[in-house]
Structure 1
Amino acid sequence: MQLSEARILIIDDDVDVLSAAKLLLKRHAKAVDIEKNPQKLPFLVTNGDYHLILLDMNFTRDVNSGREGFHWLDRILDINAAAKVIMITAYGDIEMAIRAMKAGATDFVLKPWENDKLLATIAGALEGGATKIAAPAEEKAKDESKKAKAGAETIVASSESIRQVLHTAERVASTDANVLILGENGTGKSQLARHIHQHSKRADKPFVAVDLGALSESLFESELFGHVKGAFTDAKEDRAGRFEEAKGGTIFLDEIGNLTLPLQAKLLTVIQERRVTRVGSNKSINVDIRLICATNSNIEKMVADKTFRQDLLYRINTIELDLPPLRDRPEDISALADYYLKQYSKKYNRPVNDISTALIKKMQQYNWPGNIRELQHAIERAVILSQEKTLQPDDLFLKSSAGQPATATGFDLEDMEKNLIVKALKRFNGNITDAARELGLSRAALYRRMEKYGL
């Protein structure tokens, strides 16, 4: 599709960014709509017939991590699996770009942008063809089931503590008992939830994951329970909530400890009755679901502090599974690192195929505050940037006890990135295209880093 024929939607909490983007794009596109409030995205995407969406990665409530941006990207792709979405952020590194692309984004741009580069990025995304309509419900269910299966396969269990958790999980899976998964961030709670679903009688039905930590209070009922046409402004048609989408399958409520007491009361009613009432309707709908919840909070202490309802806890923790942090099972580190090495060397077509003994030792001595997720990202980054077939200690970026990036040489992350860029440029005699490909960057991203480091 040509840019001149495209309808574009821009979502950003910065009014100046919205104005600048619209001013630029309205001269080139058929139509450009802007919106400051991301909570209106589901309605806009459902009814707007957009060919491309520019989505801010960081909104006011979550300034740095990109968490809300990824949440809304997931919601867009839930509505239309073939939607073309370009993520926007004030500053992006390799990890953030990789995460956005891996999550389903079409491309990634930095603000403030260069107008010509932004137009080129949008034109390139549109050249891939017209956006397809959203998949039918049965196709979506199959897709969710495939995702659950893929997630189940990522559980690497060498330590006895994890083997015991998996053994219990698989025994529970064949029942419809409610499960509560506890554990620090990054320990694999969502993977374990998918594992339970995949080993249950509901494995061929939907697995619907909801990040309650990223869900605003004003949208809680609409997102989970659905709404009817005219229930509120922009409710232009009936919409099923996440509980209805999970009918016959599993609904996974992550970060349940983040819910306020009023929302806990609403959720408790639905869990007890297994019935939902869409916003604006008086008719209740039966929902046949398997419930799995997760939290990194000390839920028992929250009950004692009266910030979490005891009756809700009784409902969700028929079976309780506690995932130990990675620092308490160092014997799993080698197997996990090898798993992710194979996964990412294949994905990025890199010749890296081994991990040195020195690096394994270094990894086993590290505390892993981010747990498996941190290890996964560290290996992914190392695979992309390594110049050798075997990963060495210098290839892995870890955090020091003070929380700052550290390597075996004592360089910080920016020093290491600059040195890698210098090495790549020397290796390819200054050829930007070849150096960018070797580093796993776009030409534009490499130019930005060269300018940043004065190269």
Structure 2
Amino acid sequence: MYDFKILVVDDEEEFRNVYRIMLEFKGYEVTCASSGEECLNILEKESFDLVLTDLKMEGIDGTQLLERIKESGFTCEVIIVTAFSTVENAVSAMKLGAFGYFIKGQDPQILLKEIDKLVQITKLKKDNMAIKNSLMKFNFLLETNSSKFRDVLRVAKKAAESNSNILLLGESGTGKEVIAKYIHQCSSRKNENFVPVNCQVFSDGVLESELFGHEKGAFTGAIEKRIGRFEEANNGTLFLDEIGELHVNTQVKLLRAIENKTIERIGSNKSIGINLRLICATNKNLDKEIREERFREDLFYRINTITIEVPPLRERKEDIPILIKFFLDNYQFEMKKKIESIEDGLMEKLTACSYPGNIRELKNNIERLVVLSENGALRKGDLPAARHGTEDNHEFGAVLKPLREIRQVSEMKYIKHVLVRCNNNISEAARILDISRRQLYNKLDEYGMTDQYVK
């Protein structure tokens, strides 16, 4: 059931208990208050979807409580319950903004139906708000003052006019999925499904089932037929993130699907036609993966008809103030905290960071600052210790190197730093780095650190 929280207010314990038992049996989360004053104190600390209150109570009665709830701006609805029904009371309550009016002694099903109606309305409102916020967030993340990112958007929009397969390259956290969604929204397929799949979160066997689907009984645990992501994305867009993590065997099946424009569910030999736009993304160097025979060259040429490289945040620092404002507004709303001041020098520190974790790292930093804020103030001291300073130019040495090598060195140093802070706990380090354990193991292997950290 959709989570729905009800605060029952009645000065008679017997009625409070009856309502609690009845409502909890229906699956609602119920809290009780013995007075209007207690109700208002609870609402100051916790949000509810509905206040179900008795009309006649000592102190603040039901009508006064309704007025106070509306005046205070609490978002909950109110249903008035009374043993003394008059037309005047009902009209008065509805004029003050009550959702409904229930008479003690009536069939409880009448009250339950009224609450169920409110549940459906509230769910619809929240779903619509979630869609609206998601769309606003998506549009906001496309705002830019960076010429590099504007070029990315220009190429992406142009590419969307074709049906060509697209490969997005860029470091983790740069917003490759945002670009993939932008391409989908700019294409003729925008009214069809956009289906994202993160290839690194599934094991090889599970990923094949996820992509191609399976028939009932195809393997142990396949208790029913399931369509895969290819079929789900038919006529729309399939986005394969972290495609560099695909096992070679899965690469072969993916190549066949792309070439033949057909798939076969696991456990079936029936071909199913597919018509979709394929967008892939990776933060790996696929040229290196091909040389080391971890990625098929023929698949590479199939997926990169058009290649778009998404710049890291350090190469579009003009956008950092825009992103800070967006994340700050977002977390103030989510956490119901108002930020009224920012300590001197904090914005400069946030802007000067190199952000190896890109937009995701900036987002996490802003969330941390809001969580730890006191008296409405953001403070420099609440930034993660490893992010206080700007880049130290002297550490690069006298010999100039390709940017790729510098990135690798920086990444290796930071992974070591996180592992030390986590006492070499791989799971904890992967969580902080916002990557999977498997991806962290791959990084350790790539940098020759496996023996040191994996026992």
Query: The TM-score by the shorter chain falls in which range?
Result: 0.5 to 0.7
Q: Which amino acid aligns with 1:286?
A: G
How far the C-alpha of 1:353 sits from its partner, in A, is 5.4
Kept in 1: contact 2:174–2:313 (CA 8 A)? yes
* Identity fraction in percent: 44
CA RMSD of aligned residues (A): 3.2
- Alignment match of 2:271 (pick from 268, 284, 299): 284
With normalisation by structure 2, the TM-score equals 0.55
- Alignment match of 1:242 (pick from 222, 225, 229): 229
Gaps of 5+ in 1: 2-50, 52-127, 133-139, 407-411, 414-455
Gaps of 5+ in 2: 2-26, 28-114, 120-126, 388-409, 423-455
Q: Which amino acid aligns with 2:204?
A: E
Matched residue of 2:190: which SS?
A: coil
**Residues 1:293 and 2:280 aligned together:** yes
Q: Which amino acid aligns with 1:172?
A: A
Matched residue of 1:232: which SS?
A: coil
Kept in 1: contact 2:264–2:271 (CA 8 A)? yes
Q: Which amino acid aligns with 1:395?
A: D
How far the C-alpha of 1:145 sits from its partner, in A, is 12
**Residues 1:171 and 2:165 aligned together:** no
**Residues 1:180 and 2:135 aligned together:** no
Q: For the residues of structure 2 that align with 1:228 and 1:236, how far apart are their CA atoms?
A: 9
- The residue aligned with 1:364 is 351
- 1:13-162 to structure 2, matched below 5 A, reads 150-162=137-149
**Residues 1:199 and 2:205 aligned together:** no
Give CA-to-partner distance per residue, 1:344-377, whole Å, 9 cap, x none: 1122221115655611211222121111100001
Kept in 1: contact 2:343–2:379 (CA 8 A)? yes
Kept in 1: contact 2:369–2:379 (CA 8 A)? no
- The residue aligned with 1:420 is none
CA, structure 1 residues 228+353, in 2 after alignment: closer, same or farther (shift >3 Å)? farther
Q: For the residues of structure 2 that align with 1:207 and 1:149, how far apart are their CA atoms?
A: 17
Q: Which amino acid aligns with 1:239?
A: R
Matched residue of 1:302: which SS?
A: helix
Q: For the residues of structure 1 that align with 2:149 and 2:356, how far apart are their CA atoms?
A: 18
Q: Which amino acid aligns with 1:336?
A: L
- The residue aligned with 1:381 is 368
Matched residue of 1:377: which SS?
A: helix
- The residue aligned with 2:210 is 223
Kept in 2: contact 1:355–1:392 (CA 8 A)? yes
With normalisation by structure 1, the TM-score equals 0.55
How far the C-alpha of 1:394 sits from its partner, in A, is 2.4
How far the C-alpha of 1:296 sits from its partner, in A, is 0.4
Kept in 2: contact 1:249–1:290 (CA 8 A)? yes
Q: Which amino acid aligns with 1:310?
A: E
- The residue aligned with 1:302 is 289
Give CA-to-partner distance per residue, 1:140-165, whole Å, 9 cap, x none: 9xx99996785354234221111111
Give CA-to-partner distance per residue, 1:378-421, whole Å, 9 cap, x none: 101212221244533223325258649x9xxxxx99xxxxxxxx
Kept in 1: contact 2:195–2:233 (CA 8 A)? yes
Q: Between Structure 1 and Structure 2, whose CA radius of gyration is higher?
A: 2
Q: For the residues of structure 1 that align with 2:194 and 2:268, how far apart are their CA atoms?
A: 26
Q: Which amino acid aligns with 1:341?
A: L
CA, structure 1 residues 199+161, in 2 after alignment: closer, same or farther (shift >3 Å)? same
